[in-house]
Structure 1
Amino acid sequence: MTILTLQIPEDVNLFDEMVKQAKAHPKKVIIEDTSSSYTYKKFLIAVNIMSKKLEQTVGNDKRVGLYLPNVVGQVIVLFGLFKNEQTPCLLNFTMGTTNIIDCIETASLGTVITSREFVKTANLGFVVEEMEKQVKLIYLEDLAHGITTFNKIGGLIEARTSRLKKKAPGEVILFTSGTESKPKGVVLTHRNIFANIKQTFAHIEVRETDRIFNPLPLFHSFGMTVGSILPLVTNVKAYLYPSPLRYKEIPKAIEKDKSTLFVATNTFFENYAKFATKEQFQTLRIVVAGAERLQNDVRKTYQDKFGITILEGYGATETSPIISLNTHERYKAGTVGPLIPLMEAKIAKVEGVSEGGNLLLKGPNVMKGYLIHGQGFIPCGEWYNTGDIAEIDKDGFIHIIGRLKRFAKIAGEMISLNKVEELALDCFGESNFYAVCIPDKRKGEQIVMFTTKANVSARELKKFIKSKKMSMLYMPSSIEHVEEIPLLGSGKPNYWKLENLAKSKIK
């Protein structure tokens, strides 16, 4: 790997990067979804037509909201906005109405593009009604319906003569999930995203013959960067699937597409394994887990049932998103791998935390800054504070101990909620345990653990913790059974909902 020669140009426009590839490989099928398939040439024509339609309907709004499903249509709009030097703001359709309105206010949006069919299918009519009080809504169906023969000829001619334009540095805005406060806008530049793609290519071998299977929505930074932009600017085909929750259908779709690269979360992998056969996953070459800790039972299932080593990685919306990643050549189970090239890390001590410290990062993929509701743009300092407690071992592998927010302070001691979940997994042999902390008048905070496993014995867990010579502060004050664990749109457990549930159960 020629890491030292890796250089990221100062001026990057993702539309121009896509045009370079489209000129070189016009006939290659580059992006598909469940109902359409696009060669580079067809995609470029569609983007050229879309950019003109957007000029007519959106005008020169600096920022434009996208409230769309994981389909090629959304990627066409995305690149149409890149061409027009406008900033797409990707709205998370799994957020509640209040959070969506907060995002619209945070980014000062005047227009949001959505789809009637999507709103109807996803039953989002109420959210759209509330949005309409704040912004002008444009429907994809109307944009498509208004495309004339003249537009098509124009798009075709422009695709043939497309010259690269020197454009102002472009941006994309994604939003954090906003479980503790109003969602923050994360401002990523085209250079941030392009850098992250180049860093990844220098770190792990992605080939032009690879086929990416992407079930993650574009409002998820991995779904956007790796699943939707990387393919078009590097000549690697992608298949967009509308939802990661279709556990039975996804293994069939992977087999049909002959996908070689697949990314999901621990929770999703656990569910796919229940329905998938070894044959359905046999073309997969690189399988990456991110967003939450990969549990040992899931890791083992994939190894034993499918012969697949899941490569655990680590990322954040603020880093476009990839920070570190295990590879087949450099792999250490239980870690999130070494840093990708051009990234630097340091560990800052945290009072009360004995293992590791707060992970700080810098690199060309680190965001420009945040948009804060009511405050506007706040630039990112020299170091981005991840809020994660981590250790870096002598070989450069990163061990994530837990979110700083996922520590309970009990009787003056900092107790990792991740560690509580790990103890339950080791004791009962399953990873369906989710710990939260709530206020406690006597001890400061108490731990409540939720599980989908029936008849869990608190006595057995207590005995197990004792046998490990661990402090009894790791013993939850209560273990609650639930039918299913609420998830965020990214596939992470929704701990905020679980916290509220714990507060309502334990008065």
Structure 2
Amino acid sequence: MVSLYDAGPFPPCPTPFNLTRHVLAAGRAHPQKQALLIVSADHTETWSFGALEAAVRGTATGFLRQGLTPGDVIVMRLGNTIDFPITYLAALAAGLVPVPTSAALTQSEAAFVIKTVSPKAVVAAPDIPCPDFAVTIDLETLQSFRSLPAAPYHLGDPERLGYIIFTSGTSGKPRAVAHAHRAIWARQMMFDGWYGLRPDDRLLHAGAFNWTYTLGTGLMDPWTLGATAVIPVAGTRPQELPALLARHDASIFAAAPGVYRQMLDRATPVPLPALRHGLSAGEKLPPALAERWVHATGRPVFEAYGMSECSTFISQCPADQNVAGTLGKPQKGRRIALLKNGEPVALGDEGTIAVARSDPGLMLGYLNAPQETAERMRGAWFLTGDQGVMNAQGHITYMGRDDDMMNAGGYRVSPIEVERVLADYPGITAVAVTEVRIKTDTTVIGAFYTGANALDADKLRAYVSQTLARYKQPRVFEHLPDLPMGANGKILRRVLRQRFERHHDRKDQD
């Protein structure tokens, strides 16, 4: 028996097709039903499905009246507000290609995005870093579009380019991931395979609007089924989430592992009678953290594994008897294998997690990067670069990344990207960055550098805060006499991680 899961293909995406039309179709039958609640301790902003679709299609009309035409790329520099999903869906409704970006990006990082995708327009809020651009739609103008007549949905080939998102790559440069309109169709495999989602659910996602995890799991997927999304306002602290879950009768809660940890550390326990379970993604959920959540709430938490190139495709779910410590199993409709030298390994052996290139949720490729795309698309498979072991039931145990990529608060971060920034700092002669464990269930980015003298850590933190998005910034800085190197001259980041964690563990024991 080999490490190959295939329970048959998912039904094909219909044609012609439009992503936004698909997302809002279920809500059209219940226009007065609550689609979205934006909540805080003392206020709730409510959007019905009817109001949401009117705002989306009116905004699509506004884009077209600006002279934009189907196929044009539009970069989104918006904050954690309703403007973000409205803009995203409106662009797709009109046949435009939105590029959602994190508000945490610095101006230079946003400039890199703009240079890479060559947009026809940028939509920008005044408080979000963004370089000057010839065609910029400001927030006031954007919001005025909502009252315009509804634009018709731009229907077409589900394989056509739909949207572009950025992910860090092993080269150190963020890569532009191009997705087709059909990607939203594939997300239906998560409804049973991860969420246990129902039309009567109220799903509270702890993330910001402008995080792709929130955009998909927190908004698009509930709306596709006609369920209600609940999103906390910007600045909500983790310890405030239990009260919001209780007050708004949330039946499903979604967050990154770090949010679960902070809730358990800081929040006062609150009865959650409406909650069925939690969802976790963005980085590996430590088993000890999952056990703490179950002990504190009496509710399970289901983990999922995925990436920007294919969203989540391996997951635990309410309907499956999950094996403790595993990622779960491939969702029905997926074809997943663990490969070595291009062939599935035997059950129980370690291999590279791979997704069939026929998967409807898989990216079209990296934008304008055929060589990088070809490196990951091998034969019939897309290689994730992550390692796993599959058992006879199809459950997959995660064994780590083979490319030294880091996960920081749910974002994939390239060490090379961070190293390039730190290498320019005066007094640093060499630097290596890796993810290090500082507690049983807590990891952060650590920077290890050489130079004549140890440098002021506070000044280093101030420097990276001006040059890197917060989730990319190291939390640990350590001066070393030299960096460990392999025989081929490559820095051994794994050795740095092991040394740091051994020393850290000894300090904790002393």
Structure 2 length normalisation: TM-score? 0.73
Pick closer, same or farther for the CA change 1:204–1:4 going to 2, 3 Å: farther
Alignment match of 1:109 (pick from 87, 103, 119): 119
Q: Determine the structure 1 residue equivalent to 2:73.
A: 63
Deviations 1:325-383 (A, max 9, x none): 343532111111010011112222379x9961211112221111111579898795531
Alignment match of 1:7 (pick from 8, 11, 15): 11
Alignment match of 2:45 (pick from 10, 33, 36): 36
Letter of the 2:94 partner, please give it. N
Letter of the 1:386 partner, please give it. T
Letter of the 2:177 partner, please give it. V
Pick closer, same or farther for the CA change 1:292–1:199 going to 2, 3 Å: closer
Q: CA deviation at 1:25?
A: 1.2
Helix, strand or coil at the partner of 1:223: helix
Alignment match of 1:389 (pick from 384, 387, 390): 387
In structure 2, distance between residues paired with 1:380 and 1:135: 36
Pick closer, same or farther for the CA change 1:392–1:452 going to 2, 3 Å: closer
Q: CA deviation at 1:451?
A: 8.2
Q: Determine the structure 1 residue equivalent to 2:367.
A: 371
2:267 is the alignment partner of 1:263: no
Pick closer, same or farther for the CA change 1:109–1:224 going to 2, 3 Å: same
Alignment match of 2:62 (pick from 53, 74, 92): 53
Letter of the 1:371 partner, please give it. L
Q: Determine the structure 1 residue equivalent to 2:156.
A: 167
Pick closer, same or farther for the CA change 1:135–1:261 going to 2, 3 Å: farther
In structure 2, distance between residues paired with 1:450 and 1:279: 40
In structure 2, distance between residues paired with 1:376 and 1:403: 18
Q: CA deviation at 1:229?
A: 1.2
**RMSD of aligned residue pairs (Cα, Å):** 3.6
Letter of the 1:395 partner, please give it. Q
Q: Determine the structure 1 residue equivalent to 2:83.
A: 73
In structure 2, distance between residues paired with 1:284 and 1:210: 10
Q: CA deviation at 1:210?
A: 0.6
Q: Determine the structure 1 residue equivalent to 2:28.
A: 23
Alignment match of 2:350 (pick from 343, 348, 356): 356
In structure 1, distance between residues paired with 2:120 and 2:232: 29
Alignment match of 2:312 (pick from 321, 326, 329): 321
In structure 2, distance between residues paired with 1:252 and 1:77: 30
Letter of the 1:57 partner, please give it. Q
Q: Determine the structure 2 residue equivalent to 1:311.
A: 302
Q: CA deviation at 1:78?
A: 1.6
Judge conservation of contact 1:103–1:184 (CA < 8 Å) in 2.
Answer: no
In structure 2, distance between residues paired with 1:87 and 1:15: 12
Judge conservation of contact 1:432–1:453 (CA < 8 Å) in 2.
Answer: no
Q: Determine the structure 1 residue equivalent to 2:103.
A: 93
In structure 2, distance between residues paired with 1:72 and 1:235: 18
Unmatched tracts of structure 2, length 5 or more: 1-6, 407-433, 449-482
Helix, strand or coil at the partner of 2:496: strand
Pick closer, same or farther for the CA change 1:452–1:440 going to 2, 3 Å: closer
Unmatched tracts of structure 1, length 5 or more: 409-416, 462-507
Letter of the 2:25 partner, please give it. K
Q: Taking CA–CA contacts closer than 8 Å with sequence separation of 6 or more, which of the two structures ends up with the larger relative contact order? A: 2
Deviations 1:218-269 (A, max 9, x none): 5543222221211222101101234587212222222222111122222221
Deviations 1:417-474 (A, max 9, x none): 99x95xx86xxxx33355879741588633246989997425969xxxxxxxxxxxxx
Pick closer, same or farther for the CA change 1:26–1:365 going to 2, 3 Å: same
Pick closer, same or farther for the CA change 1:435–1:223 going to 2, 3 Å: closer
Pick closer, same or farther for the CA change 1:380–1:196 going to 2, 3 Å: farther
Which protein has the bigger helix share?
1
Pick closer, same or farther for the CA change 1:246–1:259 going to 2, 3 Å: same
Helix, strand or coil at the partner of 2:66: helix
Q: CA deviation at 1:407?
A: 9.6
2:498 is the alignment partner of 1:440: no
Pick closer, same or farther for the CA change 1:453–1:245 going to 2, 3 Å: farther
After superposition, residues 460-471 of structure 1 pair within 5 angstroms as: none
